[in-house]
Amino acid sequence: MVTTLTLELPDRVAALLQRTWTDLSRATLESLAVEGYRTGKLSCAEVGEMLGHASRWESEAFLAEHDAWPGTTLEEFQSDCATLERLRDA
- Kindly give the confidence (pLDDT) of every residue in the chain, 90 residues in length, as a single tens digit, with 9 standing for 90 and above: 889 989 999 999 999 999 999 999 999 999 999 999 988 899 999 999 999 999 999 999 999 999 987 666 778 788 889 999 999 987
78 within some domain = yes
Please check whether residue 4 lies inside any domain of the structure.
Answer: no
Which residue range forms the structural domain that includes residue 51?
11-89
Residue 3 domain-assigned (yes or no): no
Is residue 5 assigned to a domain?
no
Question: What confidence score (pLDDT) does residue 71 get?
Answer: 65
pLDDT of res. 74: 77
Q: Closest Cα to residue 33, out of 51, 58, 56, 20? A: 51
pLDDT for residue 80:
87
The count of structural domains within the chain is: 1
Q: How many CA atoms lie within 13 A of 43 on its CB side?
A: 4
